Amino acid sequence: MKNAAALSGRQPATAPAVGGDSGSRRGAGRTELELSQAASADLSTRDRVTQLLLERGATTAAQLGVALGLSPAAIRRHLDAMLADGDVVAREQAVRGGRGRGRPAKVFLLTDAARVRCGTHHYDNMATAALRWIARNGGPEAVEAFAAEQVEALEGRCRAAMEDAGDDPLARAEALAGALTAEGYAANASTIASGGQLCQHHCPVAHVAAEFPQLCEAETGVISRLVGTHVQRLATIAHGDGVCTTHIPAQPARVQSGNTVTTVRTDR
């Protein structure tokens, strides 16, 4: 015989799971401020982990946890995130003398990329100070000469990587994007209605170039010479844009000899 709930078409009432809904309500009810504070706390802890690894070198998760007052689960969570982001690497701990039973503990070290980021501001400040000294003692021409010399080696390496790119400017732009990516510029090239576009999503000298645009102009000259045609720099990370963008105009049926460089500011 069917019960009354089934005859009425209603589902029978069930008691909430003990502790289940209250936890869900607490999670769902977290404000944006609380989520932001939690994210900031995570970043702050990761900064402290980075600083400790910079100071101590290879360190175990247990040692890091003790130094930071974190539980094993908490320090593992941060280390796993840093491993995923490529900020640290894990290796087996070297054991001198007799080795006990069980697997050796893992130690964690900063990657080269993470170490470079730790010193970015120091190097940027030194480079800016050096260029200011050059400008004071040699004038703008000396800064331009310095910038040209700095990109000379980059141009040589990229030219060698583009040997099989042919003569078409857009094909050469694609090859140049690959060469620049190998140099750490995270570049890509695309075809657009008015020609082509070369985008660089990272600039190693952005902070310095913000004060000394000669660095951007020298780099634009390199792009023009390597692509083999006139180009226009439309945007730069150094001037506050998200991406360094260089426009490569569509080519007429007959390409005229001689390359020119035009830099167009779009941040004004």
Query: Could you read off the pLDDT tens digit of each residue along the chain, which spans 268 residues?
Result: 444 444 344 444 444 443 444 444 444 455 655 544 444 555 678 888 888 887 777 889 999 999 999 999 999 999 999 999 998 999 887 655 555 565 667 899 888 777 767 655 567 788 899 999 999 999 999 999 999 999 999 999 999 999 999 999 999 999 999 999 998 888 999 988 888 999 998 888 888 999 999 999 999 999 999 999 999 999 998 888 888 999 999 877 544 445 544 444 433 3
Q: Are 53 and 111 in contact (CB under 8 A)?
A: no
In a domain, 78, yes or no: no
In a domain, 241, yes or no: yes
- The alpha carbon torsion through 120, 126, 132, 133 (nearest 10 deg) reads -160
In a domain, 135, yes or no: yes
CATH number of the CATH domain containing 244: 3.30.1380
Q: What is the pLDDT of residue 184?
A: 84
In a domain, 13, yes or no: no
**Environment class of 207 (CB within 10 Å of its CB; exposed 0-12, middle 13-18, buried 19+):** middle
In a domain, 64, yes or no: no
Q: What is the pLDDT of residue 227?
A: 93
Q: Give the residue numbers spanning the domain of 159.
A: 117-249
In a domain, 68, yes or no: no
- What angle do helix axes 214-227 and 169-182 make, rounded to 10 degrees? 130
Q: What are the C-alpha distances in Å from 151 to residues 61, 109, 126?
A: 42, 32, 18
Q: What is the pLDDT of residue 100?
A: 56
In a domain, 231, yes or no: yes
| pTM of structure | 0.54
Q: What is the pLDDT of residue 230?
A: 92
In a domain, 38, yes or no: no
Domain tally, the chain: 1
Q: Tokens 């000259």 sit at which residue? A: 221
